[in-house]
């Protein structure tokens, strides 16, 4: 149904610096304004303008306005409100007071401009009107926010836009250690955060401005500024009255999920049960459906643990999880009861509440929030009429509005439609920390990094939160560890593709961080090489180092464990000198060498065997000493024979017991060792003796005393 209204002045007019001025008056006047606006969405209107008859502009001149001069300018559309007629008792004559009469304003930025064409004597222009927050759809960024609440992040994000913001927030929001805007427009990031934390937004228009309003409670929604629209009557179509009314109101209830559940994991409390849930089914049948959500991926899948990765330390995950569960449950319920309505009403403003009255369905007479409107106001005057209002023309206006109403007794939460972006695989990053440090870590071996896409990071310990480092072997005070050092390039992946959950998974060489041995010449070498942690020297190419080198050169393989301190090293195999980045140098022999420029010691507790009695290819037990035992037995037999000869010659009796005991100790040296299990006897277990055997002899020499 359409409403045709006549007025001595314009029902719709505009003011904007974008409108050209000709002969002291606007060169364009409004013909139609149509569009949609709602809570938690960017409004969009189309404004149709035409050149007025009074200016008598030629078609070529009227069609030649610079379109770029419209773009980005603000425009205010002023809609006259007649108000609600009310008889004033006792007044002289017939007197009606139009309660709520005034002006409704829609203020916006012009985002698009078109020459719409010619119609009769007029040239028409069509402008697309959007809120200033539309500018945020045109800016895409990658940015890290640390140790901030969602409100602080929104403040920082919106500070880049010089437009008014009003926060009507009453909830307490916990700080998050790491939140990433990742290849998202500012608007998508804004929408995602608002949806995750149950914050709604709308726009209020007044004083030639429109302001963004953030809301997290039903009490923050205002009644309409015009009293005529604070209480609105329902009447069937065709009802005659000196007031605007709703002629269609269709309640729509639907089945919704009745329970929300989630779970999270905190590696600082790995055994903690971090399950949370909320049960609030609507009073319908079959309302017990459960939404169980893991935080990785999708919309609204927020993780609620904070594993001591930021400056604030650990959080209370159960408490914060319950807060998010409540928000998710309310978001599931929020569309369970709505109504679709229509009328010829000029002042039904999205984000305002109203009281419906006189609906035949008594339950429908309640307070509602105007959630969304689809609005049209159009001049439908005929060309045959007086051409201009200034000449006495009475315009005829059609006004239509369709809107969605949400009951004020049901909390409103934004729908979870904006997914968190996924990272598309691992990324490289630079290990960072404070100046003067080689390694910057904590009790969990975590590191800080600078991502190459981060334009704000300061390349120090403040660039990110603490990031875990994966290891091929990690257990309870066991495993392998090589902490990444400041200045090294690492590979960072993201758990579940979530940009808020980085984990270091590897390292990579680059032109500033070359491999430990020069390639491709030293490609036969593999192993590890570290660097002494001198001041800022832990990742330098110079300085002392430790290395474990495995040399797989064909026919000349070796293994070498070396420390540059006193040049102490153990070399095995085809021994070749390995120095610095140059790698393999001169050959030094074959076999093994344990050497040092410092002191050395061989120390055992159960015994030591030094022997040149070969065991080719390491066959047999490590303490096999048959040759040594045989020699000792021969020596003992010789000693016994000499003793008997001495007795026969009436000499002194030679005592052989010490030799017998020592021979038995050597014989039992390896009892119980690998390869000699099960050996029994009085000397089982052996004694801590030093046994030396030389197949071709034993020589020892010194220029000094030998004792």
Same domain, 571 and 618: no
- The span from the CA of 485 to the CA of 449, in Å, is 10
Judged against a pLDDT cut of 80, whether residue 640 lies above it is answered with no
Q: What is the dihedral of CA 84, 88, 92, 98, to 10 degrees?
A: -20
Same domain, 587 and 614: no
Give the model confidence (pLDDT) of 93-143 as tens digits. Answer: 444 567 878 999 999 999 999 998 887 778 899 999 999 999 999 999 999
Asked whether the beta carbons of 337 and 410 are under 8 A apart, the reply is yes
Give the model confidence (pLDDT) of 584-616 as tens digits. Answer: 999 999 999 999 999 999 999 888 999 998 888
Asked whether the beta carbons of 526 and 552 are under 8 A apart, the reply is yes
Question: In the chain, what is the straight-line distance between the N-terminal and C-terminal CA atoms, in Å?
Answer: 123
- The span from the CA of 329 to the CA of 411, in Å, is 10
Using the 3D structure, point to which of 301, 333, 365 is the last residue of a domain.
Answer: 333
Closest to 262 measured CA to CA, from 290, 288, 287, 282: 290
Range of lowest pLDDT (257-271, 329-343, 665-679): 665-679
| Alpha carbon separation from 208 to 204, 211, 683 (Å, rounded) | 11, 10, 105
CA-based torsion, 652, 658, 661, 667: positive or negative? negative
- The span from the CA of 213 to the CA of 169, in Å, is 10
- The span from the CA of 47 to the CA of 35, in Å, is 9
As for how many domains the chain has, the answer is 4
Mean pLDDT across 58-77: 84
CA-based torsion, 114, 119, 123, 129: positive or negative? negative
| pLDDT computed for residue 387 by the predictor | 44
Classify residue 676 by burial, with Cβ atoms within 10 Å: 0-12, 13-18, 19+.
middle
Same domain, 549 and 494: no
| pLDDT computed for residue 572 by the predictor | 97
- The span from the CA of 77 to the CA of 134, in Å, is 18
Per cent of the chain over pLDDT 90 is 68
Contacts of 576 (CB under 8 A, 6+ apart): 551, 553, 556, 558, 584, 585, 586, 587, 588
| pLDDT computed for residue 58 by the predictor | 60
Mean pLDDT across 375-404: 70
Same domain, 633 and 591: no
| Alpha carbon separation from 623 to 386, 573, 627, 673, 676 (Å, rounded) | 122, 21, 11, 8, 8
Q: Residue 121: inside a domain, yes or no?
A: no
| Alpha carbon separation from 505 to 72, 432, 464, 470, 495 (Å, rounded) | 46, 16, 16, 5, 11
Tracing tokens 């009769």 back to the chain, one arrives at 120
Residue-number span of the structural domain to which 467 is assigned:
422-513
Q: Residue 546: inside a domain, yes or no?
A: yes
Same domain, 582 and 626: no
Q: Residue 543: inside a domain, yes or no?
A: yes
Range of lowest pLDDT (247-256, 551-560, 561-570, 683-692): 683-692
Same domain, 493 and 439: yes
Judged against a pLDDT cut of 60, whether residue 674 lies above it is answered with no
What pairs with residue 294 in β-bridges? 263
| Alpha carbon separation from 466 to 145, 338, 445, 507 (Å, rounded) | 13, 46, 9, 17
Give the model confidence (pLDDT) of 232-243 as tens digits. Answer: 999 999 887 778
Same domain, 443 and 494: yes
Contacts of 393 (CB under 8 A, 6+ apart): 381, 385, 386, 387
Count H helices, E strands: the chain? 6, 37
Per cent of the chain over pLDDT 70 is 89
User: Which is it for strands 689-693 and 607-611: parallel, antiparallel or unpaired?
Assistant: parallel
What pairs with residue 180 in β-bridges? 144
Same domain, 509 and 588: no
Strand locations in 380-500 (E): 395-407, 427-432, 448-450, 468-469, 489-494
**Token pair for 51:** 């050149």
Asked whether the beta carbons of 655 and 685 are under 8 A apart, the reply is no
Same domain, 504 and 426: yes
Q: Residue 281: inside a domain, yes or no?
A: yes
- The span from the CA of 607 to the CA of 584, in Å, is 36
Q: Residue 152: inside a domain, yes or no?
A: no
Same domain, 568 and 642: no
Asked whether the beta carbons of 467 and 446 are under 8 A apart, the reply is yes
Judged against a pLDDT cut of 90, whether residue 231 lies above it is answered with yes
Determine which helix (DSSP H) or strand (DSSP E) holds 191, and give its type and residue range: helix 186-196
Judged against a pLDDT cut of 60, whether residue 477 lies above it is answered with yes
Instruction: Map residue 345 onto helix, strand or coil.
Output: coil
Would you say how long the chain is, in residues?
707
Determine which helix (DSSP H) or strand (DSSP E) holds 631, and give its type and residue range: helix 626-648
- The span from the CA of 389 to the CA of 282, in Å, is 55
Same domain, 651 and 582: no
| pLDDT computed for residue 67 by the predictor | 94
Range of lowest pLDDT (280-294, 371-385, 418-432): 371-385
Mean pLDDT across 446-471: 97
Contacts of 171 (CB under 8 A, 6+ apart): 198, 216, 217
Judged against a pLDDT cut of 70, whether residue 672 lies above it is answered with no
Mean pLDDT across 678-707: 76
Contacts of 523 (CB under 8 A, 6+ apart): none
Range of lowest pLDDT (193-202, 576-585, 635-644, 678-687): 678-687
Classify residue 176 by burial, with Cβ atoms within 10 Å: 0-12, 13-18, 19+.
buried
How sure is the predictor about 280, in pLDDT bands with cuts at 50, 70 and 90? Answer: very high
Using the 3D structure, point to which of 543, 566, 595 is the last residue of a domain.
Answer: 595
Give the model confidence (pLDDT) of 132-176 as tens digits. Answer: 999 999 999 999 999 999 999 999 999 999 999 999 999 999 999
Using the 3D structure, point to which of 513, 540, 566 is the last residue of a domain.
Answer: 513
Asked whether the beta carbons of 245 and 233 are under 8 A apart, the reply is yes
- The span from the CA of 463 to the CA of 448, in Å, is 7
CATH number of the domain to which 428 belongs: 2.40.50.230
Tracing tokens 């000349």 back to the chain, one arrives at 556
Range of lowest pLDDT (57-61, 485-489, 594-598): 57-61
| pLDDT computed for residue 260 by the predictor | 94
Mean pLDDT across 309-321: 84
Kindly write down the DSSP assignment for every residue of 103-132, as one continuous string.
EEEEEEEEEEEEEEEEETTEEEEEEEEE-G
Q: Residue 304: inside a domain, yes or no?
A: yes
Q: Residue 591: inside a domain, yes or no?
A: yes
Judged against a pLDDT cut of 90, whether residue 655 lies above it is answered with no
| pLDDT computed for residue 653 by the predictor | 61
Tracing tokens 């009293």 back to the chain, one arrives at 227
What pairs with residue 232 in β-bridges? 356
Same domain, 505 and 529: no
Judged against a pLDDT cut of 60, whether residue 383 lies above it is answered with no
Determine which helix (DSSP H) or strand (DSSP E) holds 154, and give its type and residue range: helix 150-158
How sure is the predictor about 287, in pLDDT bands with cuts at 50, 70 and 90? Answer: very high
SS (H, E, C) 607-629: EEEEECCCCHHHCCCCCCCHHHH
Contacts of 505 (CB under 8 A, 6+ apart): 426, 470, 491, 492, 493
Q: Residue 329: inside a domain, yes or no?
A: yes
Mean pLDDT across 394-417: 92
The average confidence (pLDDT) of the chain is 88
| pLDDT computed for residue 394 by the predictor | 54
- The span from the CA of 113 to the CA of 291, in Å, is 45
| pLDDT computed for residue 96 by the predictor | 52
Q: What is the dihedral of CA 504, 505, 509, 510, to 10 degrees?
A: -50
Q: Where are the alpha helices (DSSP H) in 314-384?
A: 317-333
Range of lowest pLDDT (112-126, 191-205, 517-531, 635-649): 635-649
Give the model confidence (pLDDT) of 538-566 as tens digits. Answer: 899 999 999 999 999 999 999 999 999 99
Judged against a pLDDT cut of 60, whether residue 185 lies above it is answered with yes
Instruction: Map residue 659 onto helix, strand or coil.
Output: helix
Strand locations in 411-486 (E): 427-432, 448-450, 468-469
Mean pLDDT across 424-434: 96
**Token pair for 385:** 């009429």
How sure is the predictor about 484, in pLDDT bands with cuts at 50, 70 and 90? Answer: very high
């Amino acid at each position: 149904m359409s409403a045709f209204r006549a007025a001595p002045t314009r029902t719709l007019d505009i003011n904007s610096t974008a409108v050209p001025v000709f002969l002291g008056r606007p060169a364009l006047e409004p013909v139609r304004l149509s569009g949609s606006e709602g809570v938690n969405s960017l409004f969009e209107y189309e404004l149709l303008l035409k050149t007025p008859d009074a200016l008598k502009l030629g078609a070529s001149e009227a069609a030649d306005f610079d379109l770029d001069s419209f773009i980005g300018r603000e425009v205010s559309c002023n809609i006259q409100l007649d108000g609600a007629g009310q008889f004033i008792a006792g007044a002289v004559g017939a007197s009606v007071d139009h309660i709520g009469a005034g002006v409704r304003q829609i203020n916006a930025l012009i985002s698009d401009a078109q020459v719409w064409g010619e119609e009769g004597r007029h040239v028409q222009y069509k402008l697309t009107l959007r809120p200033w927050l539309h500018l945020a759809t045109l800016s895409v960024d990658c940015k890290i926010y640390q140790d901030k609440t969602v409100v602080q992040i929104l403040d920082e994000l919106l500070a880049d836009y010089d437009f008014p913001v009003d926060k009507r927030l009453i909830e307490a929001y916990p700080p998050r250690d790491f939140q990433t805007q990742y290849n998202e427009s500012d608007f998508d990031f804004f929408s995602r955060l608002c949806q995750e934390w149950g914050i709604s937004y709308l726009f209020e228009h007044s004083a030639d401005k429109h302001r963004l309003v953030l809301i997290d409670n039903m009490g923050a929604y205002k009644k309409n500024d015009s009293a005529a629209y604070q209480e609105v009557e329902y009447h069937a179509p065709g009802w005659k009255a000196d007031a605007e009314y709703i002629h269609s109101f269709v309640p729509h209830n639907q089945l919704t999920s009745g329970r929300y559940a989630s779970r999270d994991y905190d590696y600082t409390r790995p055994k903690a049960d971090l399950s949370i849930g909320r049960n609030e089914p609507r009073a319908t049948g079959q309302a017990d459906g459960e939404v169980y959500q893991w935080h990785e991926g999708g919309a609204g899948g927020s993780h609620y643990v904070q594993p001591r990765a930021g400056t604030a330390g650990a959080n209370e995950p159960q408490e914060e999880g319950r807060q998010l569960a409540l928000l998710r449950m309310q978001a599931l319920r929020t569309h369970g009861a709505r109504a679709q309505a229509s009328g010829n009403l000029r002042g039904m403003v999205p984000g305002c509440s109203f009281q419906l009255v006189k609906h035949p369905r008594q339950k429908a007479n309640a307070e509602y929030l105007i959630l969304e409107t689809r609005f049209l106001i159009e001049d439908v005057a005929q060309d045959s009429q007086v051409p201009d209002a200034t000449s006495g023309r009475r315009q005829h206006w059609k006004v239509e509005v369709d809107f969605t109403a949400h009951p004020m007794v049901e909390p409103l939460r934004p729908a979870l439609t904006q997914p968190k972006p996924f990272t598309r695989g691992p990324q490289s990053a630079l290990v960072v920390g404070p100046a003067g440090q080689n390694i910057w870590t904590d009790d969990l071996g975590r590191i800080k990094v600078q991502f190459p896409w981060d334009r704000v990071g300061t390349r120090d310990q403040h660039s990110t939160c603490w990031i875990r480092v994966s290891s091929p072997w990690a257990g309870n005070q066991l495993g392998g560890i090589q902490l990444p050092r400041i200045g090294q390039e690492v590979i960072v992946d993201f758990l579940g593709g979530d940009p808020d959950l980085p984990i270091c998974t590897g390292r990579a060489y680059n032109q500033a961080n070359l491999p430990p041995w020069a390639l491709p010449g030293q490609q036969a070498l593999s192993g590890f090489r570290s660097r002494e942690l001198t001041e800022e020297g832990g990742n330098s190419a110079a300085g002392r180092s430790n290395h474990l080198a495995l040399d797989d050169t064909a026919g000349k393989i070796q293994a070498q464990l070396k420390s540059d301190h006193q040049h102490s090293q153990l070399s095995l195999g085809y021994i070749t000198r390995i120095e610095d980045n140059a790698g393999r140098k001169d050959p030094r022999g074959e076999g093994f060498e344990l050497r040092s420029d410092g002191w050395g010691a061989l120390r055992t507790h159960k015994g030591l065997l030094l022997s040149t009695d070969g065991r080719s290819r390491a066959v047999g037990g490590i303490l096999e000493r048959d040759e040594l035992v045989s020699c000792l037995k021969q020596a003992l037999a010789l000693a016994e024979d000499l003793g008997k000869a001495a007795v026969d010659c009436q000499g002194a009796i030679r005592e052989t017991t010490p030799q017998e005991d020592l021979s038995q100790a050597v014989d039992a040296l390896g009892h119980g060792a690998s390869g000699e299990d099960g050996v029994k006897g009085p000397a089982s277990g052996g004694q801590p003796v030093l046994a030396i055997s030389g197949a071709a002899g034993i020589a020892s020499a010194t220029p000094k005393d030998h004792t």
